[in-house]
A and B are shown apart, each in its own frame.
Chain A
Amino acid sequence: MTAEEYFRSDADGTVLLVGRCASCERPHFPRAAACPYCAAREVGPDELGPNGVVRQATVVTAAPPGYDGAVPYGFGVVDVGGELEVITRLTLNDDAVPAPGTPVRCASDRVGSTGQPIWIFESGESVGSTESMRSAD
């Protein structure tokens, strides 16, 4: 999982690198060799974000296997562009995740001892996670 496979950041923010089917025109993330919905093999590059809306959100309080980053951390589903829902980390504000319906914005982050790059969505009041190392900084 390299940043180049999943997202791109510049001064305007971070966007997700998605694939879009030439046949059914639906987006998927991450980009795949074929459309996961209709199996068409003509898939072109597209981008979605940085803005999204939280659909579901929870807090991970115990580190899952193989993860040595900070806990707790936010985790949820964000709607991007009204057509795709993505699994994502969410920034916490006073140990709480943004509620469903909250507008959020994509950013890049690095977590754990390896500095694993990862996308994250944060709400307007967020100051970023404790491990945040914005690629745009």
Chain B
Amino acid sequence: MPVFITGVGMHPFGRHEASLTDLGVAAVSGALDDAGLAGRGAFEATYCGTAYGGIATGHKVLGALGLTGGAIVDIEAGCASGAAALSLACTAIEAGQYETVLVFGVEKMPRGMIRSSFFDSRAEAAGLNATPAYFALRAQRLMATSGVTERQFAEVVVKNRANGALNPMAMFQKSVTVDEVLGSRPVCDPLRLWMMCSPNEGAAALVLSSQPGAGGGANVRVAATELRSHRAGDVLGEGTPLSGLADRSEIPTPTEMAAVAAYEAAGLGPADLDLAEVQDTDAARELLAYEELDFCGAGASAGWFAAGHSQADGRLPVNRSGGLLSKGEPLGASALGHLVELTWQLRGEAGPRQLGEPSVALAHSVGRGANASVTILQR
């Protein structure tokens, strides 16, 4: 049974005075309005992605709207929380359990370096939870394996920030230059402050249905959505283990596993994609995703990026929304933010960011757990 996206809504990502509940209310209201739905009974169940929201976050948001009564499930899967919520919602519709489901993600991240209960207090006391350092080490490894340069990390930021300058949902809506990025404060070599996304606040919501939307716009359906966790062996994988194998050649990453499954389920491949939103927690992470998602071969991300393929006028524009480098990352909402953007693109409603008439789009998220998701939307 197909799953259609019949409504989308979003609260801008950034820093806000509004409460967590108010952020969720804005996104959910927008999605319900977009789907032409109103009142209790308009949807049968709700899946809410959040990592820092606390107990019953979904209930608080729906309670504020007078829309409780159906099943409400909160889901945590790190940066892929929203995608995990989507995956469960799609499964419920495909199985015939529900016809119309609300999925949303909402977050108000604490300021500063992300503190995660993943690390126990003794690991914290030992300084093993320096998350930016893990990103930096992974960036170094990509430089060694794929020939990526520090300047290219800056160029990824320039690309995404130029896209973000066109996005009213982004935290940063100002273009930057390579020199400005390279001149920003060093965090952990080789990464500088502007090469890393900002944990922040925001919400995104989708209405899913077994039936196409009633409006006259393009119908967007979920062609595939796959969620995978890590397999042990990569010392610098998002699972943030304390060790890995020196030879990890036969161990796929969670993103690779999710991508293979999603392409197979959709009956599509990388060559069919018109655009993509991928996890750019830091600039290196976006380049690594090109390889893991098979946009290019292993070790080929530097050349593929240099050829301009991921630019707005390239073969496969990546992070036309501005990515997390522009929007910031509210963990529970970020994956669904990808899907809201892609739905707008597939409908032809992305305003100044619109990329022609795309028909197939891919969204990717990966983070703590590790959890990785790949979703393919099709018009």
What secondary structure prevails in chain B residues at the interface with A?
loop
Which of B22-30, B51-59, B238-246 lines the interface with chain A? B238-246
Q: Are A29 and B186 in contact (CB under 8 A)?
A: no
* B131 part of interface (Cβ distance < 8 Å): yes
Q: Are A118 and B235 in contact (CB under 8 A)?
A: no
Instruction: Count residues of A near B (Cβ-Cβ below 8 Å).
Output: 44
Q: Are B246 and A1 in contact (CB under 8 A)?
A: no
User: Which residues in A have their C-beta under 8 angstroms from that of B132?
Assistant: 60
User: Which residues in B have their C-beta under 8 angstroms from that of A56?
Assistant: 137, 140-141, 236
Q: Report the minimal beta-carbon distance from A83 to chain B, rounded to whole angstroms.
A: 5
User: Which residues in A have their C-beta under 8 angstroms from that of B187?
Assistant: 61-62
* B42 part of interface (Cβ distance < 8 Å): no
Number of A-B contacts (CB under 8 A): 129
Tell me the bound Cα distance from A57 to B138 in angstroms: 10
* B18 part of interface (Cβ distance < 8 Å): no
Tell me the bound Cα distance from A112 to B129 in angstroms: 14
Tell me the bound Cα distance from A69 to B124 in angstroms: 10
Q: Are A87 and B128 in contact (CB under 8 A)?
A: yes
Tell me the bound Cα distance from A116 to B128 in angstroms: 11
- Produce 1/0 per residue, A82-98, CB < 8 A to B: 11111101000000000
Q: Are A37 and B232 in contact (CB under 8 A)?
A: yes
B112, B125, B128 interface centre (most CB from chain A within 10 Å): B125
Answer whether A65 and B245 are a contact pair too, CB < 8 Å, given A73-B127, A89-B127, A111-B125.
Answer: no
Q: Are B113 and A1 in contact (CB under 8 A)?
A: no
* B214 part of interface (Cβ distance < 8 Å): no
* A79 part of interface (Cβ distance < 8 Å): yes
* A28 part of interface (Cβ distance < 8 Å): yes
User: Which residues in A have their C-beta under 8 angstroms from that of B188?
Assistant: 58-61, 75
* B136 part of interface (Cβ distance < 8 Å): yes
Answer whether A60 and B127 are a contact pair too, CB < 8 Å, given A37-B232, A77-B235, A116-B122.
Answer: yes
Q: Report the minimal beta-carbon distance from A54 to chain B, rounded to whole angstroms.
A: 11
Q: Are A65 and B242 in contact (CB under 8 A)?
A: no
Tell me the bound Cα distance from A75 to B191 in angstroms: 14
Tell me the bound Cα distance from A116 to B127 in angstroms: 10
Q: Report the minimal beta-carbon distance from B193 to chain A, rounded to whole angstroms.
A: 11
* A45 part of interface (Cβ distance < 8 Å): no
Q: Are A85 and B125 in contact (CB under 8 A)?
A: no
- Produce 1/0 per residue, B211-252, CB < 8 A to A: 000000000000000000001110110000111111100010
| Residues from 109 to 163 in B contacting A, C-beta threshold 8 Å | 112-115, 119-133, 136-137, 140-141, 144
Q: Are B124 and A64 in contact (CB under 8 A)?
A: yes
| Residues from 37 to 80 in A contacting B, C-beta threshold 8 Å | 37, 55-69, 73, 75-77, 79
* A8 part of interface (Cβ distance < 8 Å): no
User: Which residues in B have their C-beta under 8 angstroms from that of A36?
Assistant: 232-233, 241
* B189 part of interface (Cβ distance < 8 Å): yes
Q: Report the minimal beta-carbon distance from A51 to chain B, rounded to whole angstroms.
A: 14
Q: Are B129 and A58 in contact (CB under 8 A)?
A: no
Q: Report the minimal beta-carbon distance from B186 to chain A, rounded to whole angstroms.
A: 7
Q: Are A86 and B235 in contact (CB under 8 A)?
A: yes
User: Which residues in A have their C-beta under 8 angstroms from that of B231?
Assistant: 37
User: Residue A77 contacts which of B113, B123, B124, B137 (CB distance < 8 angstroms)?
Assistant: B137
A–B Cβ pairs within 8 angstroms, 9 of them: A1-B125, A2-B122, A36-B241, A37-B233, A56-B141, A67-B129, A77-B236, A117-B126, A118-B126
Spell out B's residues near A (CB within 8 Å): 112-115, 119-133, 136-137, 140-141, 144, 186-190, 231-233, 235-236, 241-247, 251
- List the 9 closest pairs (A to B, CB-CB), nearest first: A66-B124, A36-B232, A1-B122, A65-B115, A29-B243, A116-B125, A85-B235, A118-B126, A56-B137
Given contacts A65-B112, A112-B127, 17 further A-B contacts (CB under 8 A): A2-B122, A29-B243, A37-B231, A37-B251, A57-B140, A66-B125, A66-B129, A67-B126, A67-B129, A75-B130, A75-B133, A77-B236, A83-B245, A85-B246, A87-B243, A100-B140, A116-B126
